[in-house]
Structure 1
Amino acid sequence: MARGKTQMRRIENATSRQVTFFKRRNGLLKKAFELSVLCDAEVAVLIFSTRGKLYEFSSKSIKETIERYKRHKKDIQAKNPPVEQNKQHLQQEMASLMENIEHLESSKRKLSGEDLGSCTTEELLELEQQLERSISSIRTRKIQVFRQHVEQLKEKGTALAVENAMLRNKLSLQQERGSNKEKATVPSADISEVSDVETDLFIGPPETSRKRAL
């Protein structure tokens, strides 16, 4: 007959609870012994009953095992700080960043000419010097940008002048070729104009027509 599944909750009957404690205690100590022997593991088990009685098992020494556990725990905490320490560290960093941000915002407002009522004479002089340095840097950069722009315009003007000269040369060559063609066609036109062909209509003997022409 199969055993029923035990519900994981406190046994209300005191006698049954005491019987179950002894059975499972012995089973737990037996399993701890088997684990230490079969796997060569250092095992320590401490059990306190409801009446405060201590039951223990250790493969070596309870005290040595506990000391080893404490050293191991310290090493882990040194490598991985607790969450609370990390939280405090993050809060401190956040507070420092917020303070820096507030300081920068205050400096920005003062440079803009705002919130100057609380400034001392030394702070006002420092602000004035800082603004003069900023204006000097801005002017230097502006002059540099203007010079670069002028150089670009000069280069562009030079390129346009070269292109203009090339277009003029091309135009002059085309004009010379056109004039040469006109000169070549003039003699043929003159010859056609002074041709000896007689176009007048005359009735009579050929000799008479020749004399008339002469």
Structure 2
Amino acid sequence: MVRGKVQMKRIENATSRQVTFSKRRNGLLKKAYELSVLCDAEVAAIIFSPKGRLYEFSSSDMQKTIERYHKYAKGVKTDKPEMERYTQQPELEAANMVRKIELIEASQRKLLGQGLGSCSVEELQEVESQLERSLRNIRARKDHLFMEQIEQLKAKERFLREENAKLSAKSGGERWQPSTQQKETATYSSQSSLVETELFIGLPENRCS
């Protein structure tokens, strides 16, 4: 079941608010611990409950981490323009990435025949050229696969012919000889042909005379 999106506002129900606080607090402390172990980072987290109860986690000495933070914060204040430059750079890169993604998605829609109403003649010609290039590449790939299949079938045919030739040579080189049972059957047939039968066709005759 898909979990619904939680609205970011104060939970009015006191019981629900306390349950949510306990769950989120435990999750935050667990993530802080995992970050310190997996990334070998110095992590400190301080949480005060709505009733003023303190919860904390520190991968090292909490006081030393706080002192280190204060020391770093003072250095950042003296070098604010440099810090702003470093923070603005990722934002610019992210904005450029978003624009590139939008252009790629618009190009894909045009290749699918969508959103062509606002395109000029030159843009439509460019889309047509892209489709023709893609179609040539697809046909070339298909022809290549067909040729590979044909070569495989030819190789299989040559193998079967060689096997057939070997079997033909083997069967033609051996002289056929009848088995013992076949010899006995043939002898019995020849002897049976010499036995005179008394079967006559026609009116009976007086054989006593």
For this structure pair, what is the TM-score category when the shorter chain's length is used for normalisation?
A: 0.3 to 0.5
Q: Report which of the two has the higher share of helix.
A: 1
Specify the structure having the higher radius of gyration (Cα). 1
**What is the TM-score when the length of structure 1 is the normalising length?**
0.44
